[in-house]
Amino acid sequence: MSVFQKLVLASGSPRRVELLQQAGIEPDRLMPADIDEEPQRAEHPRSLAKRLCREKAEKALASLKAEPEFDHPYVLAADTVVSVGRRILPKTEMLDEAANSLRLLSGRSHRVYTGICLVTPQEKIRTKLVETRVRFKRLSREELESYLASGEWRGKAGGYAIQGLAGTFVVKLVGSYTNVVGLPLYETVGLLTGEGFKVHFNWLSGSPQV
């Protein structure tokens, strides 16, 4: 990454960091934004994802104002929401939340929305929303109980991580796979390059993968 460009990721998610690294991007700073993620009354899942990603980016930017070494950075934030119709599923922290979410997803389709917000060094705000449709197989009792016992559901929107064991539940996926993981790479890289961030800087010195 160029020394003249600083990228702050307003997240502590290992998944999002790994996805950025997959694209050859190494954030200069992780700054998780602690905000209230509760949906507002009658808020649509799409609107929630867009609102939360912007709030995370703005909070991280405000915190950076006191740090001269991060003068005029790029700030990237994202928020992922899983829904069945207009029903928003929680980021599960309790076993019963995960069980209820997985029972609801079993044998049916749902949507995964990720809102991306990029604040440029000139403090211009760019946002994008990405939608993916996912269909789960009908889960047997054994599959449900075994997945819950694995603990992979903890902290995950909708109670599952597609890049883990739950990948075996997916019958069909329409749209971006990385969106379901937590950060749609095509759209994220497009936002960054469109605003002058040198995404390909590290590619130039990389060695071909065998």
Active site (catalytic) residues: 79
With beta carbons less than 8 A apart as the criterion, state whether 139 and 102 touch. yes
Select from 115, 109, 118, 114 the least CA-distant residue to 179. Answer: 114
Amino acid at 177: Y
Phi-psi region of 118 (alpha: psi -120 to 50; beta: other; left: phi over 0): beta
Q: Is 24 helix (H, G, I), strand (E, B) or coil?
A: coil
Number of residues that make up the chain = 210
With beta carbons less than 8 A apart as the criterion, state whether 3 and 70 touch. no
* Structure tokens given for 36: 């209230």
Query: What is the distance between the alpha carbons of residues 45 and 39, in angstroms, rounded to a whole number?
Result: 8
With beta carbons less than 8 A apart as the criterion, state whether 28 and 74 touch. no
